Amino acid sequence: MSLQETNSSTVKAWDPLVRVFHWSLVFLFLLAFITEDDWLNLHVQAGYAIAFLIGFRLLWGLVGTRNARFISFVKSPKVMLTYFKGMLSRKTPHYLGHNPLGAAMVIALLLGIVLVSITGVVIIAHEGNGPLAGTFFATLGADWMEDAHEFFAHFTLLMVLIHVSGVVVSSFLEGENLAKAMVTGRKKFRSSWVDVEPGKRKEIQS
C-alpha cells in the first residue's frame, strides 16, 4: 500500500535493524563508559560489541533500506546551514529520514565511536590481548594511547548530549516525537518531505 493509498496517520521511516542498532549502541556505549575503571573485562566486551555494531552500520549504510543509506541523508554544508537557519526562524521542513543536522550528528557519532574503538583495541594489544596483539600496533605507547582513548570517549559523550538536545529541539519544531519514531519506526504522515521526490512517493510503503 502506498502513501497516497493509505489512511494511516503514520508511515514507515526506520527499518528494524536501524532501530535495534541505535538503541543497542546507546546501551553498550553507556555500559562501556561506566565500566572503564572498575569492570575492565566487561568494558572490553562492550567495546567489542560496539565495534561489531559499527561495522554492521557502515555496511547497512551502503546496502540497507532507503533511509538507512548514507547517500539518502548525508547533505552538503550549504543544506545544513539552510536547515539551521530554518530552525532559528521556526520554519523547519520535514524529512522522512534524518534531517541535515541529524545526519551530520550521525556521522560525527560514528566517527567518534570508531576512534574510541581503535584506540581501545590498540591499548589491549599493548597488553598482549585482542586482534592486534603481536602486531606493530602493540608497540605504540600505552600512556598516550590511553589519553587518546579517554579523550575520544568524552568527545563522543559530548556529541551524545548534543544529539539528545538536538532531538528535543527538532521534535518541538517539527511537531514529531523523533525518539518515539526511533522506537516504533514510524513518523507522522506529511503532505510532502524534502527527501522524498513527489514522483517516488508511491515507492514508500506504509
Q: Identify the band that residue 54 occupies on the pLDDT scale cut at 50, 70 and 90.
A: very high
pTM, rounded to two decimals: 0.84
**DSSP assigned state of 133:** T
Instruction: Assign residue 24 the CATH number of its domain.
Output: 1.20.950.20
Residue 5 domain-assigned?
no
Residue 180 domain-assigned?
yes
Range of weakest confidence among 35-39, 51-55, 202-206: 202-206
Residue 98 domain-assigned?
yes
For residue 188, the surrounding DSSP H or E stretch is strand 186-188
Rounded Cα–Cα distance for residues 124 and 137 (Å): 10
Ramachandran angles phi, psi of 39, nearest 5°: -130, 70
Q: Identify the band that residue 192 occupies on the pLDDT scale cut at 50, 70 and 90.
A: confident
Report which of residues 193 and 28 the model is more confident about. Answer: 28
Report which of residues 188 and 127 the model is more confident about. Answer: 188
Question: Are the beta carbons of 10 and 196 closer than 8 angstroms?
Answer: no
Per-residue CA distances from 71 to 43, 107, 126, 181 (Å) = 33, 12, 37, 21
What percent of the chain clears pLDDT 70, i.e. is strictly above it?
A: 90
pLDDT at 7 over 50: no
Q: Domain range holding 144?
A: 10-191
pLDDT at 42 over 80: yes
Residue 143 domain-assigned?
yes
pLDDT at 135 over 80: no
Residue 105 domain-assigned?
yes
Report which of residues 6 and 86 the model is more confident about. Answer: 86
How many domains in the chain?
1
- For residue 107, the one-letter residue type is I
- Bin 76: left if φ > 0, else alpha if -120 < ψ < 50, else beta: beta
Residue 116 domain-assigned?
yes
Report CA Rg, the chain.
19
Residue 58 domain-assigned?
yes
Residue 197 domain-assigned?
no
